[in-house]
Amino acid sequence: MAAANTNSMISLRAVTKRFGNFTAVDAATFDIAAGEFFSLLGPSGCGKTTLLRMIGGFERQSTGEILIDGEPMGTRAPNQRPTNMVFQSYAIFPHLDVAENIAYGLANRPVDKATIARKVAAALEMMRLDGLGNRRTNQLSGGQRQRVALARAIVCEPKVLLLDEPLGALDKKLREEMQIELRQLQKSLGITFIFVTHDQEEALSLSDRIAVMARGKVLQIDTATALYEHPNCREVAGFIGNMNFLEGRIAGVEGGLAAIEIGDGQVVKVPANGQAAAGGNAILAIRPEKIDAHGSATAPQPGTNAIRARARASSYLGDRSLILADWRNGAAPVSVSLQNRKSLSGDGSSGIGIPGPDSELWLTWPVEAGVLLTS
């Protein structure tokens, strides 16, 4: 087993969790740096909560090891770990008032009453809960309950804060406010956050890095930009944002570019990702907003990819228009998203208007905008 990286706060070494025959988390291996805002993102049931609960000590891993700040956690109980958790349901103690809730963890520390009172007051102020200290918790709004749960964990000054969909129960507006607050809080405290969410926008906007999970496996760990621009597999590409997939065969690799035959004799180029070999099957992934649509009369420019297509349907969405275009019999249509920069004249020409149904199109995109997926 490799020694933990010196500046990594959390190290997971092949952490696996099985429930009977079912593998909920499969050999998760990655490091999280101190002070990082790290998100676990994935569809429902992919094992995010299970992984988080293993880090917090609520669930014992079947195999593998978890190190926090260089120390192996082994079978330590939650109260023996330098982590605190914000539960999805908030888990606010109903028999205690707001201040007692926040002070709960401090009672287990060797600190005197005056210090506790001071820390609770500071936490109330920081979380904008001033004056609510003596409230019963059933008299709080959703956002306030959420902040009590956060305050209660933060006063314990954990090395790592675990958050299980902490914003899931809030309405959209409150959610957006809390996202900003959460990010500021994390920056100012410098605590490592591990944040579970199935909302990709939330993960993309908040996180330093994101681990995308599916079926218990960690598929890719990267920054938001890297995940969006350079997904490493079809699943990640499809899960984050919208993506077109053009299936074909690698005809050749030259100068860092792979030429892909996508049927009907059409060949497009894409940056080769190192392991591309001629003859293999490949998928070219391209985002709808990176494609431009031109009327059929316009000749494609050299240095860009271009394929012939026929508009099937289009819709006007105000800021942009969506076009669905058929490009090859039997293949899924390509969707194209066009920014509506100029006022529309409705003549369907050169990518600023909406092409009418059945109009002939050239779909073009810069060679470097595509992503080659070899699996």
Ligand X SMILES: Nc1ncnc2c1ncn2[C@@H]1O[C@H](COP(=O)(O)OP(=O)(O)OP(=O)(O)O)[C@@H](O)[C@H]1O
By beta-carbon proximity to another protein, the closer residue of 76 and 308 is 76
Cα–Cα dist 262/82, whole Å: 53
8 A C-beta contact, residue 370 and residue 271: yes
Question: Binding string to ligand X for residues 162 to 201, with x set by CB under 6 A, is what?
Answer: ------------------------------------x---
Question: Binding string to ligand X for residues 83 to 112, with x set by CB under 6 A, is what?
Answer: ------------------------------
Who's near 106: CB < 8 A, 6+ residues apart? Answer: 115, 116, 119, 120, 155, 156
8 A C-beta contact, residue 8 and residue 31: yes
In degrees, to the nearest 5, what angle opens at C-alpha 18 toward C-alphas 17 and 20? 160
Among 21, 138, 225, 345, binds another protein (CB under 8 A): 138
Who's near 117: CB < 8 A, 6+ residues apart? Answer: none
Nearest to 174 by CA among 135, 204, 140, 126: 140
By beta-carbon proximity to Mg ion, the closer residue of 195 and 327 is 195
Structure tokens at 94: 């109903």
Q: What distance lies between CA 230 and its chain's CA centroid?
A: 13
Helix (H) or strand (E) holding 337: strand 334-339
Q: Kindly state the smallest distance separating residue 162's Cβ from another protein, in Å.
A: 9
Cα–Cα dist 344/350, whole Å: 11
Site for another protein in 149-188 (CB under 8 A): 152-153, 156
Q: What distance lies between CA 158 and its chain's CA centroid?
A: 24
By beta-carbon proximity to ligand X, the closer residue of 213 and 224 is 213
8 A C-beta contact, residue 213 and residue 46: yes
8 A C-beta contact, residue 270 and residue 367: yes
Question: Binding string to Mg ion for residues 44 to 73, with x set by CB under 5 A, is what?
Answer: -----x------------------------
Among 42, 47, 56, 231, binds another protein (CB under 8 A): 56
Site for ligand X in 8-37 (CB under 6 A): 19, 24
Q: Which stretch binds ligand X (CB under 6 A): 39-47, 129-137, 248-256, 340-348?
A: 39-47
Q: Choose among Mg ion, ligand X, another protein, none what residue 24 binds, the Cβ cut-off being 5 to 8 Å by kind.
A: ligand X
By beta-carbon proximity to ligand X, the closer residue of 36 and 164 is 164
Structure tokens at 252: 């050749």
Cα–Cα dist 143/171, whole Å: 9
Amino acid at 241: G
Q: Which stretch binds ligand X (CB under 6 A): 43-51, 135-143, 155-163, 363-371?
A: 43-51
Residue 109 near another protein by CB under 8 A: yes
By beta-carbon proximity to Mg ion, the closer residue of 49 and 186 is 49
What residues make contact with Mg ion under the rule CB under 5 A? Answer: 49
What residues make contact with ligand X under the rule CB under 6 A? Answer: 19, 24, 42, 44-50, 198
What residues make contact with another protein under the rule CB under 8 A? Answer: 56, 58, 77-79, 83-85, 87-89, 91, 93-95, 104-105, 107-109, 136-138, 152-153, 156
